[in-house]
Amino acid sequence: MKIHINEVVTRDGFQMESKIPSISYKLDLINSLIDAGIKNIELTSFVHPKYVPQMADAEELFSKIPRRSDVTYSAIALNERGVDRAQKAKADEINLVFSLSETHNRKNANQTVDESIQFVQKLLMGESVLQEQIPINIAISTAFGCPFEGLYTKEKLFPIIERIVEYNPNSINLADTTGMANPKQVEETCYAVKSKWPNLKVGLHLHNTRGMGLANVIAGIRGGVTHFDAALGGIGGCPFAPGATGNICTEDTVHMLEQMGYDTGIDVDKLILASRGLEKELEKTLSGQIMKAGKSSDTHTA
């Protein structure tokens, strides 16, 4: 089975870092990721630099990336201004984000959930600034639970998905923004979503905040999902979600999947080298395990 990895290190990864990597380093990192076999990269966010200064170089980064027909670069936008910037920068895909949680959505987007959904619907209907047929992906943050409101069930999620699928988004990504989900919840939710909307492309954005990230990947696969976000070295988190540190680690995820017989098309050894380089760049110890322990297939001299 083919499992697709969307690398988010330059967006979700860097948005929490106090040390902001240079454009030069970001470009070197992107080239390393592509060389390792990464085909999908969430490059940046078109947001106000006052609130997320790590993304202030969004336009410059898009102007300098290596454009390839087999690599898709996406970007996050929260409003019409962000969408306009993304399309002018020639993003291959635009990711719109809103939260299932009213509290989190107000903190993250300064909107009610209904206001965010109305914007999504307006954009997908062609009644906004979008001028070209750019694929629009919808990410639902706090899809499994919110640190302000508690855990959620699919009964809260389904009415929101119902409103979105009517307008045919390219995909819907369910985000465990603060790492609250457990494998049982993930499998049951994904299975229910895929059963109700079998033709809908569904992805998972998982965090390892409570140590269940990789278990949730397997749960998602069992539930019918084959697209997953991950960040090199396991860095990242949400600035507006207390305690939410660490995406699932790309190299750890790929290593696990390949060991289990899944096809990712990604070279783990090259990811390990890139992750060790990232650790040096950020001048801190990263949470990735394979970069420290090596692959399960590695042997040592007796």
Catalytic residues: 238
CA distances from 134 to 38, 39, 80, 84, 229 (A): 21, 18, 14, 11, 20
What 8-state DSSP symbol labels residue 155?
A: H
What whole-number distance in Å separates Cα of residue 143 and Cα of residue 137? 15
3-state secondary structure of 69: coil
Report the SS3 class of residue 71. coil
Those residues with Cβ within 8 angstroms of residue 114's Cβ, 6 or more apart along the chain or in another chain = none
Question: What DSSP assignment string belongs to 5-44?
Answer: EEE-IIIIIGGG-SS---HHHHHHHHHHHHHTT--EEEEE
Q: What's the CA angle centered on 200, arms 168 and 80, to 5 degrees?
A: 40
Cα angle at 177 between 171 and 182, to 5 degrees?
95
Q: Which of 48, 253, 83, 234 is nearest to 97 (CA)?
A: 83
**What gap in Å lies between CA 29 and CA 44, rounded to an integer?**
14
